[in-house]
Amino acid sequence: MCKTCGYLLVLYGLLAACYATAAMADNTIQISLLELARQHFTNDLTVAEEKMFRAAAEGAMADCLPAASDKKNLFITGTNDDVTAHADLWSTNRIVRANRLAWLCTDAEASKLVSYRGVGINGARIEGYVYLARANMNFAMFAQNCVFTNDIYLNSAHLQGLYLDGSKIKNLFAEGLRVDGNIFMDNGFKALGLVNLRNSTIGQNLICNGGQFLNSNNFAINASEAQIEGNVLMGDGFVAQGLVAVSDSSIGHVFYCDNGQFLNSNNVAIVASSAQIEGNVFMGHGFLAQGAVGIKNVSIGGEFICSGGKFLNPGNGALTASGAKIEHGVSLCTNFLAKGFVDFSSASIGGDFDCNDGQFVGASGLAITANSARIGGSVKLASFVSAEGMVSLVSATVGNFFFLGNSDTFTNTRIDLSSAKIGTLYDLVCPLRPGNLILDGLTYDHINHDSPLDVNRRIQWLRLQPANDFSTQPYEQLAKVLSSMGHEDDAAEVMIAKGHDYARTLHWTELDQWPECFWYKIFGRFIGYGYKTWRAFALSLLFIGLGYGIFRFGRNQNLILPTDEKDWSLDKEGHPQVSANYPRFSNFIYSLEVFLPLVKLGMDDNWRPYANRQTQIQVGKKSVTISGQVVRCYFWLHIMAGWVLSTLWIGGLTGLVKT
């Protein structure tokens, strides 16, 4: 038992010795780093600088904030803005000279003694230019709630992380910077000049939520050609005065700008052209851009969500996304506002293009253009708050629905669907004014069952096109779709309406239009342009019946006689007598043969009306003289009617006269 107690005492002594040795080693490092600084700067160190060296060795934050009761430092407890206020009046106890910080980060001996947690300063005034260009720091830098009196240079530098939360700086020159972790410029951060992160590499996130970047009429943030593995957050109180650029950059996850303000009026507020963004892009609730937002040829791996966002660039492009490739949908709906046109020309959108309840105040007559865009989902243009100008989808492809709803504010809107291809047309009561719908070349596969299928309403929809630029294709497309849906009669009515509407564009005063005028205004109209040929057939039967009666009368009154006068003679009373062996006259056969062209039954060759003969008939108490000329004239009319009507109904049956 005693032997066991002895072993335990020995073990306890060894452990105590180990802890003591470790403590002495840590103390040696702390003393060594501070002493090294004192030796290098010949003891010329402020209180804040000594705190910085000591904390760097300990892996702690050098807290230079004074106590709330220290009136000489003018510190007032409250918001982050209070923390950095009146920095020019701070005591020397809160001053860190930039060359001391730079020596700590770049001196080979000093940087070896910095804890893996990095260099941390809170609430200090950093005086002088912080020059760390091309420095290789294997630790992070924390300068929180600090005020930098001059510019920071981190060009081509390398460090583990950069944390400037709540600090105020002037210019940050960090082109080519490599950061293995995060960059934080948030929660009260303020830059009074350029933040240049061009061609930088950030291993995790660029977080600027709540930061202010004030460099009017110039770059506020330039992160063009940057490689950012995580998120870019510029929302939740973010303010930029000047241009924010992420063109040609790569963002591994989300680009978030909700509740952010990008202010560069009459200029470009955001440019992200040709950027590669793997996640969603948020420019929605609370987002405000005063100036153009340009994301031409951007690639977005998720959705582009702008619902509730405000894009203000009156008279010019408010949102330009031509050539963009967006894997999922685009939301420009629910309190979205654009003053200036919205451009998605030649864009590729995998999901819906949703503009429901958006407000579009266009520029130069254009509200929205998505010409040649490829949209895999639906286009939703329902219940606009306002759409002033042209909505153009010329040559666009829409894989699913094109939804056009009812809105009283469509009165100033024109919609151009020329040469567009749509899966399903889904329109409600069309609110457009006549002349404000362009459909030439539009093709679609179906009409949704909730859309108006009444043929008169569909024809009225076609008649919203400009009257002075008539095109037959929209009528033919509608008829084709109605026919495929089993509405054959309605399809025919559409084609008849096409003929009627085209006839309105023709004028008898134009001699070169006469052939078409005869067809479209007279003959074609009569037979429904080939879709109601029964009218011609019915009228043909009427003519044949009328001819039967007139030719019977003419024969009975001897106004129709054998063709060769040698085959008949006059008797003593002057009545014509026909040779007994002459072919007998048939009223019906004669009428039928004379009416039908190219039909020869032998009757017409043997009998003809004689114009120089007359007959007397009693009409009441009066005797009326009827000349053979009357029968002869009807005979010619019968022939002409036969040619015309037979051509019409035969052409209709064969489809030759359908237009």
pLDDT tens by residue, 314-339: 999 999 999 999 999 999 999 999 99
Q: 410 in helix, strand or coil?
A: helix
Instruction: Classify residue 565: in a domain, yes or no.
Output: yes
* pLDDT the model gives residue 75: 38
Going by C-alpha positions, the residue among 171, 123, 175 that lies closest to residue 154 is 175
The residue with greater pLDDT, 2 or 352, is 352
What pLDDT score was predicted for residue 627? Answer: 85
- For 427, the token pair is 């329109």
Which of 34-48, 449-463, 464-478, 559-573 comes out lowest in average pLDDT? 559-573
Q: Which helix (H) or strand (E) holds 191?
A: strand 190-191
pLDDT of residue 19 exceeding 70, the answer is no
**Residue at 148 is within a domain:** no
Question: Tens digits of per-residue pLDDT, 509-531?
Answer: 888 888 888 778 877 777 777 77
Specify if 437 maps to a domain: no
Instruction: State the pairing for strand pair 232-233/206-207.
Output: parallel
Burial classification of residue 67, based on how many CB atoms lie within 10 Å of its CB (0-12 exposed, 13-18 middle, 19 or more buried): exposed
pLDDT tens track for 259-297: 999 999 999 999 999 999 999 999 999 999 999 999 999
Q: In this model, does residue 12 exceed pLDDT 60?
A: no
H-helix or E-strand spanning residue 220 = strand 212-222
Contact 298, 271 (CB under 8 A): no
Full domain range(s) for residue 617: 534-654
Is residue 110 a part of any domain in this protein?
Answer: no
Which of the residue ranges 104-108, 289-293, 354-358, 524-528 would you say has the lowest mean pLDDT? 524-528
Q: What is the DSSP letter of 166?
A: T
pTM (two decimals): 0.81
Distance of CA 210 to the CA centre of its chain: 31
What integer pLDDT is reported at residue 384 of this predicted model? 63
Interacting residues of 22 by C-beta distance below 8 A, sequence separation 6+:
none
Confidence of residue 602 (pLDDT cuts 50, 70, 90): confident
Query: Looking at residue 656, what is its pLDDT?
Result: 63
What's the token pair of residue 628?
A: 């053979």
Confidence of residue 308 (pLDDT cuts 50, 70, 90): very high
Tokens of residue 246, six digits: 């992420």
pLDDT of 566: 81
In order, the DSSP letters of 28-52 are: HHHHHHHHHHHHHTTT---HHHHHH
pLDDT band at 129 (very low <50, low <70, confident <90, very high): very high
| Domain count for the chain | 1
Sign of CA dihedral 557, 562, 564, 570: negative
Tally the C-alpha atoms within 13 A of residue 113's C-alpha that lie toward its C-beta.
25
The residue that leads in pLDDT, 620 or 402, is 402
pLDDT, tens digit (0-9, with 9 covering 90-100), for 624-656: 888 888 889 998 998 898 888 888 777 777 766
Cα–Cα distance for residue pair 100/52, rounded to 1 Å: 9
* pLDDT surpasses 50 at 30: no
Check residue 328 and give its pLDDT: 97
Examine residue 123 and state whether it is found in any structural domain, yes or no. Answer: no
pLDDT for 236: 96
CA dist 445 to 79, 350, 482, 655, Å? 61, 19, 10, 24
Q: Which two tokens stand for residue 513?
A: 């239009």
Q: How confident is the model at residue 18 (pLDDT cuts 50, 70, 90)?
A: very low
> What is the amino acid identity at position 527?
I
Lowest mean pLDDT among 74-83, 187-196, 316-325, 535-544: 74-83
Q: Identify whether 121 is part of a domain.
A: no
Higher pLDDT, 651 or 128: 128
Percent of the chain past pLDDT 70, that is, above it, reads 90
Q: Which residues pair with 446 in a beta bridge?
A: 424
DSSP notation for 242-295: EEEE-TT-EESS-EE-TT-EEEEEEEEEEE-TT-EESS-EE--TT-EEEEEEE-
What is the DSSP secondary structure assignment for residue 160, as one 8-state letter?
S
Type of residue at 627 = S
- Phi, then psi, of 654 in degrees rounded to 5: -90, -10
**Per-residue model confidence (pLDDT) at position 406:** 66
pLDDT band at 429 (very low <50, low <70, confident <90, very high): low
The shares of helix, strand and coil residues in the chain, as percent rounded to the nearest 5, are 30, 30, 40
Average pLDDT, the chain: 88
Residue 228, both tokens? 């950012």
Minimal CA–CA distance to 330: which of 289, 278, 282?
A: 282
Residue 220 lies in a domain: no
Which among 108, 105, 66 is positioned nearest to 85, based on CA atoms? 66
**Half-sphere exposure of 441 toward its Cβ, with a 13 Å CA cutoff?**
11
Looking at the predicted structure, is the pLDDT value of residue 22 above 50? no
82-86, 213-217, 243-247, 533-537: lowest mean pLDDT where? 82-86
Q: Is 369 left (phi over 0), alpha (psi -120 to 50) or beta?
A: beta
632 is a domain residue: yes
What pLDDT score was predicted for residue 620? Answer: 76
Kindly state the tokens that stand for 169: 């700086």
Return the residue matching tokens 């009257």: 467
Least confident of 145-154, 524-533, 580-589: 524-533
> pLDDT at residue 415 above 80?
yes
Check whether 368 has a pLDDT greater than 90.
yes
Residues 6+ apart with CB under 8 A from 42: none
